[in-house]
């Protein structure tokens, strides 16, 4: 099921991720955002590598009960693995992309060079 993480204070959309039943249960029991990685086919606690966890403030369901919004407090101020505040840091207009969100950290420092 698709999940939108939204900053509980600024209402910025931080990322779109996915949840399976295990991730949903862990969100409820821990209050910390857990997702399911479709590419890696595994459960994933947001921030497990970077430390940038998401504390859940509220959980909302849509009319068809097939999409979720998590209102979260984003630790470290950045949700994206690129270091940008939000994964949606690129805006498309007139056939061009421009960066529309600040870069908060340098991924090389946070994840190390691999």
Q: Contact residues for a copy of itself (CB under 8 A)?
A: 2, 4, 6, 10-13, 15-16, 58-64, 67, 69, 80-82, 84, 87-93, 97, 100
Backbone phi and psi for residue 107, each to the nearest 5 degrees, phi listed first: -55, -30
Instruction: List CB contacts of 66: < 8 A, sequence separation 6 or more.
Output: 1, 2
Our CB check for a copy of itself shows the closer of 53 and 70 to be 70
Q: How far apart are CA 22 and CA 41, in angstroms?
A: 13
Q: Looking up tokens 């939204």, which residue turns up?
A: 6
User: Whose Cβ is closer to a copy of itself: residue 20's or residue 82's?
Assistant: 82
Q: Which is nearer to a copy of itself, 21 or 64 (CB)?
A: 64
Q: How far apart are CA 84 and CA 106, in angstroms?
A: 9
Hey, is 66 helix, strand or coil? coil
Please say which residue, 12 or 75, places its beta carbon nearer to a copy of itself. 12
**Closest distance between a copy of itself and the C-beta of residue 12, in Å?**
7
């Amino acid at each position: 099921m698709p999940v939108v993480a939204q900053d509980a204070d600024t209402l910025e959309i931080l990322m779109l991720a996915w949840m399976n039943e295990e991730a949903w249960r862990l969100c409820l029991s821990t209050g910390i955002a857990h997702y399911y990685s479709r590419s890696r086919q595994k459960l994933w606690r947001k921030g497990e590598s970077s430390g940038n966890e998401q504390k859940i403030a509220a959980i909302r369901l849509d009319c068809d009960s097939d999409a979720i919004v998590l209102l979260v407090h984003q630790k470290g101020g950045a949700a994206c693995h690129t270091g940008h505040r939000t994964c949606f840091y690129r805006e498309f207009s007139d056939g061009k992309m421009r960066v529309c969100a600040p870069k908060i950290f340098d991924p090389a420092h946070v994840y190390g060079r691999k």
